Amino acid sequence: MPIDWDQRYAQRVQRIKGSAIRELLKLTEMPGAISLAGGLPAAEIFPLEQIQAATQRILAQRGQQALQYGATEGYTPLRDLLAQRMTAEGVKVTRENILITSGSQQGLDLLGKLLVNPGEPWLVESPTYMGALQAFNPYGPEYVAVRSDHEGIVTSELEVALQRHPRGMYVLPSFQNPSGVTFTLERRQQLIELAGRYNVPVIEDDPYSQLRFEGEPLPALLALEHARQQEKGSGDQIYQGNVILLNTFSKVLTPGLRVAWIVAPAEVIRKLTLIKQGADLHTATFNQMIAYELTREGFLEEHVPVIRALYRERRNAMLAALEEYFPDTISWTRPQGGLFLWVTLPEGLDAAQLLRDALEYRIAFVPGAAFHANGGGANTMRLSFSNVNAEQIEEGIRRLGKLLHNRMLHS
Ligand SMILES: Cc1ncc(COP(=O)(O)O)c(C=O)c1O
């Protein structure tokens, strides 16, 4: 008799389940469909020529090293370069504070393994990045979800949540996936003050802050935490704070390289390195070298403005189309950067149900419920503007608007 595999799976994976939405979204590959669902970067501006040139150079100059096993911590010149850049921006770190990971997604898994205990409180925003929930779920947290508004996490509610002594918190302060919201400076400062007072580790996931297309840049939580530590201590110390930062090349270069990094106090990096060794030994050396070559040459300073300009145009196209085609009982966020915006439908309108109808009109989005750790958000949805051109955006929103008008007429 064949094994009943469901009975064999370990307890930690019981919470990992496929979803009907995931299956439905596969249908977006059909011809003529417009997908505002996936959070993919725009592939047409991937720097193929520069990557090709870097690849050839690496093979010619350091081919054997590129194709050999490497250190778990990551390619030393890349760690040094990232550390120098952060130090130049005011947060004093060395390579001992940096672990290269196979995407930030791996960083989330490693941090889940490091910090989350089964059945103990773990704080997230509501909504939050679905992929983080997927990474943390196997470690069995009891989620405490704190609401965000247009200024970011609501710090008065955060303080109440901290009284439950969570083992840690996971936040996305800049151009959040899924909502597009950015924490104001005041909220950032309040969060750092609260996390310090309650002595709670903070995971700051930051794939998007470089992709700001309007407004003034804001300091990372890690930078604020560093400044707080400097004030308390004797100044000019190497980073020792409560905040652990996740950063990635995925949105500023290409996601297919799978190169990202974690910044944390050196003792945390040492422990994470041991965990990573058990996961994949190290991130692909070749890919790290490509990321290193392009960063070292200053290519990102040229390339990131190109990405920003394209996403700005697409965000504008989406905002204009929403204004024109959506019923006025519907509201949405106006992100100043990133890849997404967030739509709130009238109470009682179920976005998952709407998706089924939308697919008939060959248009897709991600219903918002899956971004909520503890339920809710059925009347919300995420729209992505990064991987569709302005015409597709206008046509997609027109179709969705028509569907929504019909829906609201008949409800
Ligand atoms: C908030 C957030 N964190 C992490 C990731 C994963 O990024 P990476 O490609 O570095 O694994 C994503 C990807 O979309 C994301 O939106």
CA–CA dist 340, 334 (Å, integer): 9
Is it the case that residue 235 has pLDDT exceeding 80? no
Q: How confident is residue 288, by pLDDT bands cut at 50, 70 and 90?
A: very high
Is it the case that residue 234 has pLDDT exceeding 70? no
Q: How confident is residue 411, by pLDDT bands cut at 50, 70 and 90?
A: low
pLDDT value, residue 103: 98
CA–CA dist 331, 13 (Å, integer): 37
Two structure tokens written together for 172: 């996305």
Share of the chain above pLDDT 90, in %: 90
Is it the case that residue 272 has pLDDT exceeding 80? yes
- Whether 394 lines ligand 1, by a CB cut-off of 6 Å, is no
Is it the case that residue 26 has pLDDT exceeding 90? no
pLDDT value, residue 335: 98
Q: How confident is residue 410, by pLDDT bands cut at 50, 70 and 90?
A: confident
Note every long-range contact of 144-150, with CB atoms under 8 Å and residues 24 or more positions apart, other chains counting. Answer: 145/372, 145/373, 145/374, 148/176, 148/179, 148/181, 149/181, 150/181, 150/333
> 254 and 49 in contact (C-beta within 8 Å)?
no
Can you tell me which atom of ligand 1 is nearest the CA of 260? 10
Mutation probe of ligand 1 site: the residue of 104, 111, 183 with most atoms within 8 A of C-beta: 104
> What value does the mean pLDDT take over residues 178-189?
98
The DSSP output letter for 212 is: B
Predicted TM-score (pTM) of the model is 0.97
Two structure tokens written together for 262: 């974690």
CA–CA dist 368, 371 (Å, integer): 6
Mutation probe of ligand 1 site: the residue of 171, 176, 177 with most atoms within 8 A of C-beta: 177
- Whether 207 lines ligand 1, by a CB cut-off of 6 Å, is yes
Q: How confident is residue 3, by pLDDT bands cut at 50, 70 and 90?
A: very high
Q: Rounded to the nearest 5°, which phi and psi values hold at 186?
A: -60, -45
Q: How confident is residue 260, by pLDDT bands cut at 50, 70 and 90?
A: very high
Tell me the pLDDT of the chain averaged across its residues. 95
- Whether 179 lines ligand 1, by a CB cut-off of 6 Å, is no
pLDDT value, residue 231: 87
Two structure tokens written together for 269: 């990096």
Worst-scoring range by mean pLDDT, 20-34, 268-282, 369-383? 20-34
The DSSP-derived string for 232-291 is HSSSSPPP--SEEEEEESTTTS-GGG--EEEE--HHHHHHHHHHHHHHHSSS-HHHHHHH
Two structure tokens written together for 64: 């054997």
